[in-house]
Amino acid sequence: MQQPIDVVEMFKQAALEVDNRRLPELKAETQISTLGMDSVAVMELVSYFEEKLSVRIPDEELSRIKTVKDLRDAIQRLLPDRAFAA
């Protein structure tokens, strides 16, 4: 049985690895654009999820992703059989 995917925790880890940024307060509702990361770092962060989970978020969906929850929803659509942490 696979562990549920915790997108918020993964996001914190990705921000640390990609941008050396600690985000202890991060929540599913957090607007990604308010974190102060530049657009290159944000795309590297998306790539972190894609590699870890072996998915590819369609390019044109990216412009609609605003919150961590939006990112989780986009990944959930690609992995309908996996469990996700609330």
Partner 1 sequence: MNGVVAALNACEGLHQRGFTFVGGKGPGEDLVVSFHQLRLLARQRAAHYLSLGLRRGDRVALVIPEGEHFIPAFLGALWIGLIPVPLYPPLSLGKLDAFMEALVTILNVARPRALVTSARVGKVLWSAVGQIPSIEKVITSEELQAKPAGALPEAADFKEEEIAFLQFTSGSTALPKGVVVTHGSLAANCKAIVVDGLRADPQRDVGVSWLPLYHDMGLIGLVLAPVLFGISIVYLPTLSFIKNATSWMEAIHKHKGTMSFAPNFAYALVTKRARPEQIARWDLSQMRVFGCGAEPINPETMRNFVRAFAPAGVKPESLLPCYGMAEATLAISFVGLDEPLRTDRIDADRYHSDKKAAPAPGGALEVVNCGRTFPGHALSIQDEDGRLLPDRNVGEICFQGPSVAAGYWENPEATRAAGMGTPGGWLRTGDLGYLVDGELHISGRLKDILIVNGRNYYPQRLEWVVDEIASVRKGSAVVFTRPGAASEEIVVAAETREADLAALKAQIVARISEEFSLAVADVALLPPGALPKTSSGKLQRRKTRDQYLKGALGKEGRGGNARLAVAKHFALSLVGRAQHGALVFFKRLGGA
Would you tell me which residues interact with partner 1 (CB under 8 A)? Answer: 31-44, 46-47, 50, 56, 58-60, 62-66, 70
Under 8 Å between Cβ of 74 and 61? yes
Q: Which residue's CB is nearer to partner 1, number 5 or number 74?
A: 74
Indicate the residue among 4 and 13 with the shorter CB distance to partner 1.
Answer: 13
Give 82's DSSP letter. S
Q: Which is nearer to partner 1, 38 or 81 (CB)?
A: 38
Q: Which residues contact 54 (CB under 8 A, 6 or more apart)?
A: none
Residues written for the chain: 86
- Distance of closest approach, residue 4 Cβ to partner 1, in angstroms: 24
